[in-house]
Chains A and B, each alone.
Chain A
Amino acid sequence: MHAELRRYESVKSPLGFFAAGPDRPMLTDAGDIDRQFRYHRRNIIVIITLCYGLGYVCRLALNVVKKPLMDAGIFTPEEMGIIGSMLLYGYALGKFSNGLLADYSNVKRFFAAGLFVSALLNFGMSLSTVVWLSALLWVLNGWFQGIGAPSCVVALANWFSNHERGRYYGIWSTAHSIGEGLTYLGIAFLIAPPPKGLGMAWQWGFWIPATVCIGAAALLYKFLQDRPQTLGLPPVAEWRHEIIDKVQSIKPSARMIWKTQLSVLAIPSIWVIALASSTMYVTRYAINSWGNVYLQEIRGFDLFDANAFIFLNTVAGILGCVAYGYMSDKWFDARRPPVNLIFGLMEVIPLIVIFYGPTNSVILAAALVVYGFGLSGILASLGGLFAIDIAPKKVAGAAMGFIGIFSYLGAGLQDYISGKLIYDSEMKVVFALGDKAPTVYFYDYSLPIVFWVGASVLSLILAATLWKVRARD
């Protein structure tokens, strides 16, 4: 009955192409089932990790070409801030709305289409030198990029059981760093002048990511799969002979779920975490969006080196995530606040060194590594883990969604405020050469830096106020 209903919905809906497919008759050959599960699970974990990472290139390309666009006088820092913030607003909205849609989707088509449209929007960005058009393209890109994470999570939930999901989630999580690394090194290599880079025009900073994302969309379409049941396979827990909680099988009504979801908003600690996460995202995205521009403008590094420094903090982030979970579980009996304080200090102290410390490249690199390590740890906690601890488990998703929206609102506001503060400090030196007027721009990052570091300090203080909060069982 349920399968028929699904089929009916998929035919009727104009977006039926993206709807999850109907269940197929169950296969009877146990050997065949084993073989298919092993084949598809291997493909799925590889493909979602690879393609989610590749998708990042279409999300972060603008950060790398920001400086060339500003130097060419195409956009001012304030305009860059507006455009950059649009992606984050679109992403916040997209992650939330697409999270709801992903549960009902054939993620193979849904994710592939998201990346494909994101690629087209990157092509569009390469042709636009108009602020409102670029902002429109980038907010849409944010929304379509927001399809990726929920689709991957749905694929993980469909193909990996409760008892193994943590491990596979960890593997998939490395995609963030793979993607950021590919962007900050790969795209920087294309754009940076020789001998360090290929010296291509800034437009290539969108064309290559777009091509990469089209390739990734094709890979997803070929190798990602809808639910196991659509291939005639049993649910993964059944295949792995895991005990399915009978209580879970009693499906609560939509009204009950909605009521419990709303109850999340009545937990004061969730609001504090949301604010702490939001302020932490200010710093996270400030470094990701403006860090390489700051290193070029103020510290005098070239485009390639500046992006290589930012790359260091993303690589350290892989270790930070893993270390945070291990430390809080093993050394502090799953108490997050003490570990939040340790990782928070590991984030704030290097920030002070980066912006106010000695101007030595080795110290800068070391500080960025420690910063990336600390930030990723506290990101794992404030961005989700701590909230899941506190919220009722049935509505952990709603708690995550609430904090996610706050976080990306913070990140988006940051991009605009940073751009505005940087632009307000602008000084131009213009050389009159007849019909030419070469212009060199100078900016002062003092105020944005106070904003970025201050946000991290505030995040640390807010997180520390939850010292006595314990996880809800």
Chain B
Amino acid sequence: MAFAKRLAGVTIAACLIGGCAEQDSSDYCDNHYLFHESHADKIGKIDIAYSEDGLVTVALSLPHTIFSGEGESSVVSIDEVASILNDSENVFAVQAEATCTETEATVTSGAGLLSARYELNCGAGSKIGQLDILLFEFVAALDEVEVVVQTAAARKQFAISRQCESAIFLLHDKSSDQSEE
């Protein structure tokens, strides 16, 4: 009987430690996927593609409204952000087996969007181990981005928010709906 009581105590304690600790992570992050679609067109987008032949493409599209002080973001000049984006080292860093060479870096602004596109050739035989996205470090006004990463094997869509420890998955992915049909 005493053992049973002790076991029950340990079980409850374990549940409290593990289960309730999870409650600490903000509801915002846990439930974000439910309301993400309602503001998806107002946040930045990052498209990353890594092809089998070692070509890496990183494309950004940031609505001007992000930098106009709407919501909680601070006012930043578009030109200032554009100059940050001009240097790909402010945007991302690649850790690959071989050195990658940058073949394209263009930054354009128009139709309410600040766009940037970078291309790197890492060679077909060279494996990329890690891709660091540094944009949030250099663009303080950026709170959240929606990201699509396409590799030769998989495609993932998720959101990254300054408030959340982990990527937010389960976003409504229209392109995958189409591919299923």
Residues of chain B contacted by A126 (CB below 8 angstroms):
14, 18
Contact with A127, one of B14, B48, B129, B158 (Cβ below 8 angstroms): B14
Give the distance in Å from the alpha carbon of A298 to the alpha carbon of B149 in the complex.
12
Interface residues of A (CB under 8 A from B): 71-72, 123, 126-127, 193, 199-201, 203-204, 207, 211, 297-298, 300, 302, 359-361, 425-434, 436, 438-440, 442-446
Residues of chain B contacted by A203 (CB below 8 angstroms):
14, 18-19
Tell me the minimal C-beta distance from B112 to chain A in angstroms.
Answer: 25
Contact with B162, one of A297, A425, A430, A433 (Cβ below 8 angstroms): A433
Give the distance in Å from the alpha carbon of A432 to the alpha carbon of B137 in the complex.
7
Contact with B152, one of A71, A426, A428, A444 (Cβ below 8 angstroms): A444
B40 interface residue per 8 A CB criterion: no
Q: How many residues of B contact A (CB 8 A)?
A: 42
Give the distance in Å from the alpha carbon of A443 to the alpha carbon of B176 in the complex.
19
- B153 A443 Cβ-Cβ under 8 A: yes
B103 interface residue per 8 A CB criterion: no
Residues of chain B contacted by A436 (CB below 8 angstroms):
162, 164-165
Tell me the minimal C-beta distance from B129 to chain A in angstroms.
Answer: 7
Residues of chain B contacted by A361 (CB below 8 angstroms):
180
18 A-B Cβ contacts within 8 A?
Answer: A126-B18, A127-B14, A127-B18, A201-B22, A207-B18, A300-B156, A427-B50, A427-B127, A427-B128, A428-B129, A428-B130, A429-B130, A430-B131, A430-B132, A433-B136, A436-B162, A436-B164, A440-B147
Contact with A444, one of B134, B153, B164 (Cβ below 8 angstroms): B153
- B170 A193 Cβ-Cβ under 8 A: yes
Tell me the minimal C-beta distance from B1 to chain A in angstroms.
Answer: 14
- B134 A432 Cβ-Cβ under 8 A: yes
Contact with A359, one of B130, B133, B179 (Cβ below 8 angstroms): B179
Residue of B nearest to A361 (CB): B180
Across chains A and B, which 9 residue pairs bring their CB atoms closest together, nearest first?
A203-B18, A444-B153, A201-B22, A428-B130, A431-B133, A438-B167, A431-B160, A429-B131, A298-B154
Interface residues of B (CB under 8 A from A): 10-11, 14-15, 18-19, 21-22, 30, 33, 48, 50, 127-134, 136-137, 147, 149, 151-156, 158, 160, 162, 164-167, 170, 173, 176, 179-180
Residues of chain A contacted by B11 (CB below 8 angstroms):
123, 207, 211
- A442 B156 Cβ-Cβ under 8 A: yes
Residues of chain A contacted by B136 (CB below 8 angstroms):
431-434
- A430 B130 Cβ-Cβ under 8 A: yes
Residue of A nearest to B149 (CB): A429
- B156 A426 Cβ-Cβ under 8 A: no
- A442 B149 Cβ-Cβ under 8 A: yes
Residues of chain A contacted by B131 (CB below 8 angstroms):
427-430
- B154 A442 Cβ-Cβ under 8 A: yes
- B149 A443 Cβ-Cβ under 8 A: no
Contact with B19, one of A200, A429, A430, A445 (Cβ below 8 angstroms): A200
Residue of A nearest to B92 (CB): A429
Tell me the minimal C-beta distance from B36 to chain A in angstroms.
Answer: 13
Please judge, given known A-B contacts A200-B19, A361-B180, whether A432 and B132 are in contact too, CB under 8 Å: yes
Residues of chain B contacted by A426 (CB below 8 angstroms):
129
Contact with A201, one of B19, B156, B164 (Cβ below 8 angstroms): B19
Residue of A nearest to B21 (CB): A201
Contact with A446, one of B30, B147, B153 (Cβ below 8 angstroms): B153
Tell me the minimal C-beta distance from A356 to chain B in angstroms.
Answer: 13
Residues of chain B contacted by A211 (CB below 8 angstroms):
11
Residues of chain B contacted by A445 (CB below 8 angstroms):
153
Residues of chain A contacted by B166 (CB below 8 angstroms):
71-72, 438
**Known pairs A300-B173, A300-B176, A431-B133 / 5 extra A-B pairs, C-beta < 8 Å:** A429-B130, A429-B133, A431-B136, A432-B133, A444-B151
Query: Could you say which of B18, B22, B164 has the most chain A C-beta atoms within 10 Å of its C-beta?
Result: B18
Tell me the minimal C-beta distance from A383 to chain B in angstroms.
Answer: 32
- B129 A427 Cβ-Cβ under 8 A: yes
Residues of chain B contacted by A302 (CB below 8 angstroms):
170
- B130 A360 Cβ-Cβ under 8 A: no
Give the distance in Å from the alpha carbon of A426 to the alpha carbon of B151 in the complex.
11
- B151 A207 Cβ-Cβ under 8 A: no
- B164 A438 Cβ-Cβ under 8 A: yes
Contact with B149, one of A127, A360, A440 (Cβ below 8 angstroms): A440
Please judge, given known A-B contacts A203-B19, A436-B165, whether A300 and B155 are in contact too, CB under 8 Å: yes
Residue of A nearest to B160 (CB): A431
Residue of B nearest to A429 (CB): B131
- A204 B19 Cβ-Cβ under 8 A: yes
Residues of chain A contacted by B22 (CB below 8 angstroms):
200-201
Tell me the minimal C-beta distance from B47 to chain A in angstroms.
Answer: 12
Residues of chain B contacted by A440 (CB below 8 angstroms):
147, 149, 156, 158, 167
Residues of chain B contacted by A428 (CB below 8 angstroms):
129-131
Residues of chain A contacted by B173 (CB below 8 angstroms):
300
